[in-house]
Structure 1
């Protein structure tokens, strides 16, 4: 890629993904039940090798993958992204036994992963987590277990080693309560705020773990989790005690730009639908495209979409090059792309009129999908806080 213009191979790959999403994957998505994990869709993503790409590609390729899938099938894009979000901490911070046990199943689409960070009182302020990990020597001996899906044995416990009991709640957790395992962030208390958070890999079959689905605006599965003295041991740690917040932030720094790519994919789909509709729709004795008000609005939609796309690619390139200003760039990319997608989809609906409000219309679907990305993985207000903090840190450093 030169100057953020895609090469021929990248363009060809993106075209293949858009066709796959609009064909096989969209068919499987339509056969699924809204608000439930679509396991046949996940299996297809595994068969196509796309889940494996989440763990073997750089940030730029991940963005191209998410943008292209979102253009043709938002359900496929979300299913893929949630697998990555839930399992990426295992790739980066998990033990050899954890990676060997879970990652092949995730890549094949046989095991469902989930990222359990948010709580009823700790959404945007992730450092304010209250899920308690209370030391309990007995938990270390019986910590690990297999999945509800029966895809294999757990990592195994070690008698005599100290463990913890998890008590509290998680909320707004994608893929809950149907996931086979959860990356869980709990307070072990090594220090105040973020310094006292530890990451654990918790199989869904662990005693004391339960959950309930939530009926949400967007169609992907999301729910609550309840931890009633759930046992975890040293073999369940993802990284070191007290270092879990870094595990979470490393994951979010990768996935925030690609959330922007998801948003760009939706914006491009809405824009293309609007161009086709306004070029053929007659009103007031002319096509809509001949009306200056319509042309100017479409021009604004296209310009904002292109600006968001370039910022997302720039943030992804910063991640792949190890740039020190990645947090700022990732926050900017997510902020602009998600806010832009909301603008573009909203104006696309307006230009289509009542037809876009009919259940099953592409824009009706996108209108429900586009709102959530401005909130999850750090709301727009959080992204602005990150950007401002990073900018003033540069001033202080100078």
Structure 2
């Protein structure tokens, strides 16, 4: 049983504790068939929507997204099943721009994504620009009252199964970050095609998307022309701490598995847990988990209190939590011996799941740059 003492920390309110208890009960009946990743994600989105859990992925008109609820949900789901966490998270990230900046007609999509009737995607990364969003080259050319999108996006989560994408393209109001805009693009829009499905070490629905003369009405733009970079960063401000929360869930599961293994495995005539070296590993794992949790929920709490930007706090939370989880899971694999790399064991799956979190939504090295710039700029 994972440690639940963090629920009593002052970062969380009674409503968050009630949510955690209810979600734990819901997850007790969770059964995910990983044989078909696309089908599993569709089923998970539908189930999460039916259970009411996706309501937290977007805010109502005039309301704020509760980042602590997002983090708590991701942590619990990740501890139970990585694909369940992915399905939840992408509904929020995919529609984050609409939730924060969308018009009334655009917000109609939120009813569908929050109910689990439509799957969302967030199309930001390009083949030639990953974490450096300002180098995006995909274009959105104005033609009368329409925009024409041309270019490619890659490593797009839910690519190939989403009904709607938030897409960022260069509209040319200025150089670099100043010339990007955001668009809401239904998946069946002519000119949008799935160019390639991408397979990774922990199966998730990913794709490279191609936009070839993809025409959109002017009303498809989210926010104003040239606001795309600001919109993208605002969305990441909300969802970056939740990546740390997912890593935290993976790490907690790894510690649980390691504790069970060390208590039940005999070595030299005694439980593995009697060895001081093993106890040292377990202590390090518990320490890193608590430190990560403090950073994650500090960032979420700050945003929920009304901080306009939490760039520094979010970067710290994502960086430390994902790197710490990698170390925790690696120790859990080591403590399992040969079974740690054997397919079918939880720690083997966790080892594959955690690696991508140190890359997406801003790689670890990029987070260090973000933190350093904040400190140098006097924000630290």
In which range does the TM-score fall when normalised by the shorter chain? over 0.9
Counterpart of 1:53 (choices 47, 52, 56) is 56
Aligned to 2:86: 78
2:180 pairs with 1:172: no
How far apart, CA to CA, are the structure 2 residues paired with 1:305 and 1:293? Answer: 19
Name whichever of 277-286 and 182-191 sits farther off: 277-286
How far did residue 277 of structure 1 move?
1.1
Counterpart of 2:96 (choices 74, 88, 108) is 88
Aligned to 2:4: none
Aligned to 1:15: 21
How far did residue 216 of structure 1 move?
1.0
Q: How many residues align?
A: 368
Counterpart of 2:230 (choices 246, 266, 269) is 246
How far did residue 300 of structure 1 move?
0.3
2:72 pairs with 1:64: yes
- TM-score, normalising length from structure 2? 0.93
Gap runs ≥5 in structure 1: 138-161
* RMSD over aligned Cα atoms: 1.8
Gap runs ≥5 in structure 2: 1-6, 60-64
How far apart, CA to CA, are the structure 2 residues paired with 1:3 and 1:30? Answer: 35
How far apart, CA to CA, are the structure 1 residues paired with 2:113 and 2:161? Answer: 14
How far did residue 359 of structure 1 move?
1.3
How far apart, CA to CA, are the structure 2 residues paired with 1:129 and 1:361? Answer: 40
How far apart, CA to CA, are the structure 2 residues paired with 1:183 and 1:325? Answer: 21
- Deviation track 1:228-254 (CA, whole Å, cap 9, x = no partner) reads 010012110100010011111111000
Do the aligned partners of residues 320 and 178 (structure 1) sit closer, same or farther apart at CA in structure 2, a change above 3 Å counting? same
Segments ≥4 residues shifted beyond 4 Å: 5-9
Counterpart of 1:125 (choices 129, 132, 136) is 132
Counterpart of 1:171 in 2: which secondary structure? strand
- Deviation track 1:199-252 (CA, whole Å, cap 9, x = no partner) reads 000111111110121111122111100000100121101000100111111110
2:171 pairs with 1:188: yes
Aligned to 2:62: none
Do the aligned partners of residues 184 and 325 (structure 1) sit closer, same or farther apart at CA in structure 2, a change above 3 Å counting? closer
Aligned to 2:182: 199
Q: Tell me if the contact between 2:237 and 2:309 (Cα under 8 Å) persists in the aligned partners.
A: no
